[in-house]
Amino acid sequence: MSHAVPWPVSLSPTRNYVDGQFVTTAKTFPNICPINGVKLADVHEADAGLVDRAVHAARQALSGPWGRMSPAERSAVLHKVADGIERRFEDFVAAEVSDTGRPVAQARTLDVYRGVANFRTFADLARLAGGETFDMRTADGQDIMNYTVRKPHGVVGIISPWNLPLLLLTWKVAPALACGNTVVVKPSEETPSSATLLAEVMHEAGVPPGVFNLLHGFGPDSAGEFLTRHPELDAITFTGESRTGSTIMKAAAEGVREVSFELGGKNAAVVFADADFDEAVAGVIRSSFTNSGQVCLCSERVYVERSIFDRFVAALKEKTEALKIGYPDEDGVNMGSLISHGHRDKVLSYFKLAVEEGATVVTGGGVPHFGDERDQGAFVQPTIWTGLPDTARCVREEVFGPVCHIAPFDTEEEVIARVNDSPYGLAACVWTTNLKRAHNVSRQFRVGIAWVNTWFLRDLRTPFGGAKLSGLGREGGRHSLDFYSEISNICIRL
């Protein structure tokens, strides 16, 4: 199949969006398509002055029509945004695919699908959420009543990552707006396109100027840092690497702003001998290689009960080598490129390190050869390692690529201790048909979310976030409403 270069072009000139206006700037940087290394568009970089204008516009909008809306009125606006994404569904698919190289099928069924779902879920949750009331009689006989009210924090800074651009951007924007805040968003410099489309949809949906502001740029000494350091932000929410999270946390400490972080992971998949074997193989293929392993929830550590270890490794090798790597719109494609050449260099450095640490490379470990423009892209082979000790860097550090290390284990106690022996604590999955074991093992993992006989199935009402270096706080359902609201308690003597 031959493809015009670049595949396909990005849909919107990637401009900033401040106070209801699309803004170009003198300084631009290229948006490179990771499928073939070709420039898709120039991205207009926001400078400190534009960041300042965006924060002030967001502040101003709080005392405008947006600030006077009821939860039900805000909910209606957010449903209109969801309608707008649905109306331009294929534009969003093309934007995500252009920026990331992912399969079209994934962009449709995961990324853009969740963009709509996030807005609809939080539009409804905010409209239907109530507060708390308490009645009591004091020791000296006074009757008092307490009730809570939710108010927006104010201006929320949102820094969103490149791995699931629209999903994670809307996972933050939707609840923040549903709770009456205004937002200033800085998407990753790697994935500006779907965020720019979202600004167009917000504009078309009549979201008042200043409610949603979009700034393009990098982190340090660019829009990301100018935003997180801005003294007039009331809260900051960030998804990305733990190291960056800690830098942002330091900036947020000035002025003691609320922070919510969803950071890195080194997640484990545990397969017991009593698991449904074929389901477990298919599940670990998904949890290791979805989105080219660029999901914070992916399993880079796999522990398999010793009695089925060799059979499982052979089966996973066979399924991995059957994965179709290629263009996003190829029939049956399973895996696309990584996000960039820079990230591919990082992943390849771990491929090299694994061999130095003594790993057996069961499959992969290099770069696929296509013999066409894709050789200028950022592809790597899905890779499986065995034979490393738990102390190896490749078993402790997040690679964030299509790779997993498989190790045998003998007992429940042993594998639980090994899973928990990590500075991270985001997610885990366990494969077993023993119901008692499923409950006992999954609840002993020190993680934010544990899946049993599945992976990355999401009910948006559930708490989502990580323990240890994997993050701070929980978002999802009422947890998002609690993070994006200032809750006041009113006490009345009756």
* Shortest separation between residue 463's beta carbon and ligand 6UN, angstroms: 11
> Which range touches ligand 6UN (CB under 6 A), out of 59-67, 121-129, 162-170, 211-219?
162-170
- Closest approach of Cβ 482 to ligand 6UN, in Å? 16
The stretches of 255-329 forming alpha helices (DSSP H) are 277-289, 306-321
Selected binder of ligand 6UN within 176, 270, 280, 297 (CB under 6 A)? 297
Residue 43's DSSP bridge partners are: 14, 29
Residue 117-156 contact track with ligand 6UN, rule CB under 6 A, x = bound = ----------------------------------------
Those residues with Cβ within 8 angstroms of residue 423's Cβ, 6 or more apart along the chain or in another chain: 266, 396, 468, 469
Cβ contact 230:52 at 8 Å:
yes
CB-nearer residue toward ligand 6UN: 164 or 270: 164
Does 238 participate in binding ligand 6UN (rule CB under 6 A)? no
Candidate segments 40-48, 133-141, 142-150, 293-301, binder of ligand 6UN by CB under 6 A: 293-301
Report the residue number, 312 or 464, with the smaller CB distance to ligand 6UN: 464
Site size for ligand 6UN, by CB under 6 A?
A: 9
* Interatomic CA distance for residues 80 and 208, integer angstroms: 13
How far, in Å, CA of 60 to CA of 19, rounded?
9
Catalytic-labelled residue, pool 296, 298, 404, 429:
296
**Which positions from 449 through 468 interact with ligand 6UN, judged by CB under 6 A?**
458, 464
In sequence order, the 6+-apart residues with CB closer than 8 A to the CB of 156 are: 172, 176, 181, 182, 183, 184, 233, 234, 235, 236, 237, 484
Our answer to whether residue 262 is catalytic in this structure is yes
Inter-residue contact 234 to 153 (CB < 8 Å): yes
Q: Is 164 in the site for ligand 6UN (CB under 6 A)?
A: yes
Distance of CA 288 to the CA centre of its chain: 16
Cα 452 off chain centre by? 21
Tokens 């003198």 correspond to 26
- Which one, of 202, 216, 184, 188, lies nearest residue 115 by Cα? 202
Residues 7, 17, 92, 171: which binds ligand 6UN (CB under 6 A)?
171
Nearer Cβ to ligand 6UN (58/481): 481
304 binds ligand 6UN (CB under 6 A): no
When CB distances to ligand 6UN are compared, the closest residue is 296
Q: Of 401, 405, 398, 403, which Cα lies nearest the Cα of 426?
A: 398
Contact segment (CB under 6 A) with ligand 6UN among 94-102, 290-298, 320-328, 355-363 equals 290-298
Closest approach, Cβ 458 to ligand 6UN, in A, equals: 5
Q: Please name which of 88, 106, 72, 85 lies closest in space to residue 169, comparing C-alpha atoms.
A: 85
Task: Establish if 163 lies at the interface with ligand 6UN (CB under 6 A).
Answer: yes
Measured distance CA(93)–CA(112) in Å, rounded: 6
The torsion angle over the Cα atoms of residues 446, 449, 450 and 456, rounded to 10 degrees, is: -150
Of 262, 300, 305, 373, which is the active-site residue? 262
Q: Does 484 bind ligand 6UN (CB under 6 A)?
A: no
Question: Shortest distance, CB of residue 472 to ligand 6UN, whole angstroms?
Answer: 14
179 is catalytic: no
Active site residues: 262, 296
**Residues binding ligand 6UN (CB under 6 A):** 163-164, 168, 171, 295-297, 458, 464
